[in-house]
Every structure is written in structure tokens, then in C-alpha cells.
Amino acid sequence: MIQQMKKISGSTLYYKKIFPTIWFGLLGFMIILQLASGKASFFTLIFPLAMAAFGFVLFRKLVWDLVDEAYDYGDALLFRNGEVEQKVELSEIINIDYTDMSAPERVTVHCRNSGSLGKEIVFTLPTRFNPFSKSPVVRDLIERVDTSRRA
């Protein structure tokens, strides 16, 4: 029997590539303008440098750990991050954490065994019309993981 695969993750292109490029690009442009104007001082350069450090920490904690794609195969999940893949059986999932009301929404899958992407795999959900409701993807996934544990 051929299992149907379904993509359950949203696009990470904006969060992982476009927004950080704009963020660091604008801060770099501010520093270059200050240096080119000849009016650069420690205090005028500290703000963009502090914002760059803040952005780096924020992106590292909330964005750069997201996998590029997550697929549901019914009895397993497949995660892809660049060329690296990890398949996780539903029975091997310990817990699923869901962070809503954030951009991007984050789903963390805690695995029993470490694989090529680690024991904790984080992906983002597709954009939904009603961000105030619990994700049906997460609700369904939690129920199926619980069912697979009981079997």
C-alpha cells in the first residue's frame, strides 16, 4: 500500500533568509552611512551593533532552528533541512510542543532517539486564517501519536 504524503509545514524562506538579510542589511547600511558621513561616534555606532547582536540572538533562538519542510506519511513524519532528512515514526515521538500567537508558529517534536536532525525537531505551520484557534494539524498529530503509543 502506497502511503499518501502531506506537507504539514509552512514556508521558512521569509523567516530564515529574507527577513534576516533585510535586518542585517539595513543595520550594515546604517553603519556605513555613519562612517561615510564622518560623524560616526561610539554612541551612533553602538545602536546598530546592539540591534545586530539582538537580531542574531533572536534569529538563532526562534528562526534558524526551523527545518525547511515537514511531511506527514500517516504513521511517520519526514523532516528535511537542506539535504539532511530524518524520518520519525509516530511511536518514537515523546511529546509535541506548540507555540501559537508567535511569528512564526513553532511546533517542536521531541523524539525518543536522536537522528540526523537531533532529538528535537522544530518546524513552522502553514499560515492559517484564524490564528486564535488551535492548529488542526497539531491537534490531529497529537491524537495520532497518542494512538500509536497505545497500540
For the chain, the structural domain boundaries read 13-62, 69-150
Q: Residue 144 and residue 41: Cα distance in Å, rounded? A: 58
Give the pLDDT score at 13: 93
Residue 11 CB burial class (10 angstroms; 0-12, 13-18, ≥19): middle
Strands of the 84-89 sheet, one edge to the other: 6-7, 69-72, 76-81, 84-89
Q: How many CB atoms lie within 10 A of CB 79?
A: 24
Q: What is the CATH number of domain 69-150?
A: 2.30.29.30
Q: Residue 86 and residue 117: Cα distance in Å, rounded? A: 6
pLDDT tens over the chain, length 151 residues = 445 789 999 999 999 999 999 999 999 999 999 999 988 888 888 999 999 999 999 999 999 999 999 999 989 999 999 999 999 999 999 999 998 777 788 999 999 999 999 999 999 998 877 777 788 899 999 999 999 888 7
E strands within the chain? Answer: 6-7, 69-72, 76-81, 84-89, 93-99, 106-115, 118-124
Longest CA pairwise span in the chain (Å): 71
